[in-house]
Structure 1
């Protein structure tokens, strides 16, 4: 039984439609004469208006109608496409979202202001602007013949039209509004009563329409079901029929496809039916259901781990065989579930086109946004939580990084600054980079601000990375005054806290006068990871396998020799290591042959001394309780096959602790 709320479904689809409209408007800013984008924006507005009216969002439908009318004039060549018009409709698009969220709210004042802005944008250019503008003329849409014409229309709507909210009677009423209309219904596809699904539409219609409206007005009636319906529209005005016969008589006879074995519907199937079929294969599933299913898969993985442990403790080949088969199936189900939750970062990057457009207007800067690696996929939860940090980073790059056009030209740079968003996958991590070609980070200014704020001691020795990391401290800001964009010192702090909560890390690079680059390293998923299970004292711990570089043996003699320096020599490199037994205060004696697990995040490496390496482990991540929020050494917990709990080590924190220990030892030495 389908218990989805139709209003909730409409809100979801309307939000997607607003995104399509916004993307089309932003594409138009690059090429005002792009007829395909003009048509796409018009169709989006028309769809939103019709759907809003159908579901009772009258304010949304009435407001959208004015924007649709403006773009209809552009589409028909009656008004030019201009940057002022696009900006006005972008502002209106944000108001449409408010009308969607609060359909019964008081929006009259805002609606009036935006409609006046829209009218000025259209009227100013129509009355004669000196700036060159592109006028789009579609010959098929212009009413070059105002005489009355007769049209023969045969159409069949998709079977799921009513399920998706389409009202066939409303479409028929729109046809009658065009002029004199005679309708007849076709019931040839109507199934027998026992096979009839009352939710599906099985009827077809034929209509003869006498009107002075152009062909496009008839097609626009079906604009938001056009891709999925079967429609044949002919001009049967006597002079048009005669002209068609003359042309047909003059054409040579060509071979035609044999359609004798095809049904009438198949013979009239549109060319894009294959595309429509592929779209119909996609199913929209609420994210909450995916989360619930992920939880069930996690519990299954834990149960499978217990079964494997039990099967390994008994001599029963049948039980072992079943255990291995369930382990294989659970692994495949886990991998499939992980793929279902993955989304391309293009859905995240696309949000910043509007942000950059608005910031360019607000700051007076010329900004070019470049995105690469949009096909890189990340867990949906990660993408949702990355939105706010990336907003702060992009705003920071534009406000603090990019210079004004005249300053860039004076520095020998192009007038337009460039902000690049890129993503790529490295093992089980995704690296998202925000790069600009602006002025770079002034290290002297950062140090002065950090010392003034008490974040570091005057004259304190810091590595370049440590100094650059100061920009993420709470309350830190080098802005001279508070503006709408920056100056309060909270944005970068939010970035750091969010990335750390995602078990990620931040790398900063900057060159004075050449720009800055901030790289976010984030795990692909927050649900299930491959881990390395180790024992320290009497406790078990999990190290994310993606961070493990190699494992070494550390004897008691070597352990005693390294006392006081805690370094191991690894292929001519000195790598600091941490004794987890001492860090966790286990109070136990070390094993005779300890192991060193070398972990890294790309550039930095640290060794972790453990008593035993048990093996790989499919780790279902469980959140820590609020009582353990301040325990920074662990990022979560998992349940082992025997029912015991193992803590998951926070790699980023341990590497930072190892580097700090190394710096202290070098300073002492």
Structure 2
């Protein structure tokens, strides 16, 4: 059932507005004189206050009213934006959320935060003096053409303007009204001139039109100046008005603004489940049609297949969310960590438009918090150490996201001290994770930091050092069928790369056969398919190399990996797949077809199977395991490294090219 609880709807919208306010404050810290940002923050505060009062959240409305009043001093130019103002404003944002979740407990802190906010804004120093009260103003305005359709009421605006002065006079401007046969009653074509007599604050007049942007024509001039140059036509709009609060702008094109509506996540999940069942049913229908060879049935099956594919793509697109939707919290986190650790930190992002399944985004937030926190606490040095090393005093943490075939790569990179392989090795030996005489590659040493309880921190702090962060990250990423890669250079920083699937629901797959059993390879990871050369057909080893157009590509015999006892077919095929910049060939008996693959999670009994990321149900009702391409590519690289260590010149050449 759809959730129509007004209080729940308000809490959701208020939470989104607070996130927008927080993002605006963080941007404002870098662009302190950006008037558009100041107005945007003020508008969001005004909306939260009004909605809170409307839905009975008196504590929220009262708190935000005082917050808005303090911030209005900045909007009117009576105070400057300084770091202390941003800090206490962010604290006030947290208090709004606390009032939404537990008003009885949180209300006790409101007075202290508001007092600090008022004092900080008051101490912010006078900025550019704002226009104070003047003896009368003439306000001339034309609302956007679509103002009525968007729910605005010009009469209410006129009442609000008239209330600003002891007396006022309103005159309509009718020259923009078309003939009756061309008139659209939903268009706002009438303008107004409002003369305000007495002491009037210009900022208060501008505030009446706070929620109008494009399409608003507004001119404000002192009434004395207006009277000095009367118009010869009493019904005409005043000529070129003096300073305008908003420059006249062309009315926005009608019909270009997309309509949106809120849909509960549970409904999207249910829709995706139904589409998954439809895809399975469509596969069964297609299999039956090809079996019977009845032309009319095959035609219907093709239509159903096309419609199911379109519905699948549309449903998946509705679930896709840009990663930028969660990067705001990391900007705030980096700022708070900078204050707590006494380290100047610059947080940067790239690729915020990269989209992932909503479920993946929600689960991904906490692991990224751990990674950013570790980068700030363990990775970045203090300002004195950085200066001594010839680095910029402020450390940089950079979060990037990009597509890579069927995966999304999310990287968190810092320019700090980097990982120390010797310290990691010593701590691993001390913990009994490796033998003292073991020889591990640097990449394998770095992976040890993902072990439960592993930490090289000298001191335990309230942020990190207990070794309970990265192992949680690894478990979470494993649960998403993803992988973690670590790269580091001592003195130059560390990069943590998360490889994640685009979606957890439905993918295009390449159905292959090995020893009479069917398996699915994600189609987005497939680069090409070639026939296995005769000289390799009778081989029994698990891996070797192919020369594909001058490039050496290692290949894995899946028959050997999957312990298939039946003899191989006469003409085996090699499916070349790619992951993380490396290519590996997978030798299969037969390539069956492309199909839409509904991903089903493996049971707990089978969850530990290496080389598989899930399973799917085929059209004939049988189950096909889904091959874990990144894991097999890593296995192919490892096999190549072993052969290179044994002295294979070709393998060494391939490894050099792959690096």
TM bin, normalised by shorter chain, reads: 0.7 to 0.9
CA contact (8 A) 2:136 2:196 kept: no
* Greater mean deviation of Cα atoms: 117-126 or 62-71: 117-126
1:242 matches 2:230? no
1:220 matches 2:197? no
Q: Which residue of 2 aligns with 1:11?
A: 11
CA contact (8 A) 1:152 1:236 kept: no
Structure 1 counterpart SS, 2:104: coil
Aligned length: 625
CA contact (8 A) 1:556 1:592 kept: no
CA contact (8 A) 2:99 2:107 kept: no
Q: Relative to structure 1, is the Cα distance of residues 578 and 167 closer, same or farther in structure 2, using a 3 angstrom cutoff?
A: same
Q: Which residue of 2 aligns with 1:119?
A: 118
Structure 1 counterpart SS, 2:520: strand
Structure-2 separation of matches of 1:580 and 1:652: 15
Q: Which runs of 5+ in 1 are unaligned?
A: 127-133, 190-199, 256-269
Q: Which residue of 2 aligns with 1:318?
A: 296
Q: Which residue of 1 aligns with 2:342?
A: 364
Q: Relative to structure 1, is the Cα distance of residues 183 and 482 closer, same or farther in structure 2, using a 3 angstrom cutoff?
A: farther
Deviations 1:183-204 (A, max 9, x none): 99x9xx9xxxxxxxxxx999x9
Q: Which residue of 2 aligns with 1:78?
A: 78
Q: Which residue of 2 aligns with 1:390?
A: 368
Q: Relative to structure 1, is the Cα distance of residues 479 and 236 closer, same or farther in structure 2, using a 3 angstrom cutoff?
A: closer
Deviations 1:425-447 (A, max 9, x none): 12222212211111111111111
Structure 1 counterpart SS, 2:498: strand
TM, length-normalised to structure 1: 0.81
Aligned match of 2:615 in 615, 637, 646? 637
Q: Relative to structure 1, is the Cα distance of residues 510 and 235 closer, same or farther in structure 2, using a 3 angstrom cutoff?
A: closer
Q: Which residue of 2 aligns with 1:47?
A: 47
Structure-1 separation of matches of 2:419 and 2:232: 71
Q: Relative to structure 1, is the Cα distance of residues 79 and 58 closer, same or farther in structure 2, using a 3 angstrom cutoff?
A: same
Q: CA deviation at 1:335?
A: 2.4
Q: CA deviation at 1:86?
A: 1.0
Q: Relative to structure 1, is the Cα distance of residues 160 and 445 closer, same or farther in structure 2, using a 3 angstrom cutoff?
A: farther
Aligned match of 1:567 in 544, 550, 564? 544
CA contact (8 A) 1:422 1:434 kept: yes
Structure-2 separation of matches of 1:155 and 1:592: 77
Structure-2 separation of matches of 1:101 and 1:244: 57
Q: CA deviation at 1:619?
A: 0.7
Q: Which residue of 2 aligns with 1:522?
A: 500
Deviations 1:356-383 (A, max 9, x none): 1111111111111222222222222222
1:135 matches 2:127? yes
Aligned match of 2:485 in 507, 511, 534? 507
Structure 1 counterpart SS, 2:438: coil
CA contact (8 A) 1:443 1:468 kept: yes
Structure-2 separation of matches of 1:273 and 1:297: 42
Matches within 5 A, 1:142-161: 142-145=131-134, 147=135
Structure-2 separation of matches of 1:397 and 1:247: 70
Deviations 1:435-483 (A, max 9, x none): 1111111111111111111222112111121111111111111111111
Q: Which residue of 1 aligns with 2:34?
A: 34
* Greater mean deviation of Cα atoms: 655-664 or 105-114: 655-664
Deviations 1:364-406 (A, max 9, x none): 1111122222222222222222212221111111111111111
Q: Which residue of 2 aligns with 1:457?
A: 435
CA contact (8 A) 1:150 1:211 kept: no
Aligned match of 2:469 in 457, 472, 491? 491
Deviations 1:78-112 (A, max 9, x none): 2222211110001111111111223x422233223
CA contact (8 A) 1:161 1:201 kept: no
* Greater mean deviation of Cα atoms: 583-592 or 416-425: 583-592
CA contact (8 A) 1:395 1:485 kept: yes
Structure-2 separation of matches of 1:649 and 1:68: 55
Q: Relative to structure 1, is the Cα distance of residues 376 and 247 closer, same or farther in structure 2, using a 3 angstrom cutoff?
A: farther
Matches within 5 A, 1:173-192: 178=164
Deviations 1:242-293 (A, max 9, x none): 23526999x9x999xxxxxxxxxxxxxx846527854452333333333222
Q: CA deviation at 1:72?
A: 0.9
1:405 matches 2:391? no
CA contact (8 A) 2:334 2:347 kept: yes
Deviations 1:112-154 (A, max 9, x none): 332232233234445xxxxxxx72444xxx3241x46687999
Please give the root-mean-square deviation of Cα atoms over the aligned residues, in Å. Answer: 4.1
Q: Which runs of 5+ in 2 are unaligned?
A: 178-185, 241-247, 648-659
Q: Relative to structure 1, is the Cα distance of residues 575 and 461 closer, same or farther in structure 2, using a 3 angstrom cutoff?
A: farther
Structure-1 separation of matches of 2:381 and 2:94: 28
Structure-2 separation of matches of 1:278 and 1:511: 50
Structure 1 counterpart SS, 2:347: strand
Structure-1 separation of matches of 2:56 and 2:158: 19
Structure-1 separation of matches of 2:397 and 2:522: 33
Structure-1 separation of matches of 2:217 and 2:2: 29
Deviations 1:550-609 (A, max 9, x none): 44545898465434x643444588766555445445554444444444444234555444
Q: Relative to structure 1, is the Cα distance of residues 561 and 409 closer, same or farther in structure 2, using a 3 angstrom cutoff?
A: same
Q: Which residue of 2 aligns with 1:22?
A: 22
Structure-2 separation of matches of 1:371 and 1:248: 57
Structure-1 separation of matches of 2:3 and 2:363: 29
Q: Relative to structure 1, is the Cα distance of residues 558 and 151 closer, same or farther in structure 2, using a 3 angstrom cutoff?
A: closer
Structure-2 separation of matches of 1:136 and 1:93: 26
Structure 1 counterpart SS, 2:132: coil
* Greater mean deviation of Cα atoms: 66-75 or 278-287: 278-287
* Greater mean deviation of Cα atoms: 104-113 or 83-92: 104-113
TM, length-normalised to structure 2: 0.83
Q: Which residue of 1 aligns with 2:397?
A: 419
CA contact (8 A) 1:74 1:136 kept: no
Structure 2 counterpart SS, 1:274: coil
Structure-1 separation of matches of 2:401 and 2:590: 37
Q: CA deviation at 1:314?
A: 2.6
Q: Relative to structure 1, is the Cα distance of residues 629 and 182 closer, same or farther in structure 2, using a 3 angstrom cutoff?
A: farther
Q: CA deviation at 1:505?
A: 2.0
Aligned match of 1:482 in 456, 460, 472? 460
Structure 1 counterpart SS, 2:597: strand
Structure-2 separation of matches of 1:74 and 1:325: 61
Q: Relative to structure 1, is the Cα distance of residues 80 and 498 closer, same or farther in structure 2, using a 3 angstrom cutoff?
A: same
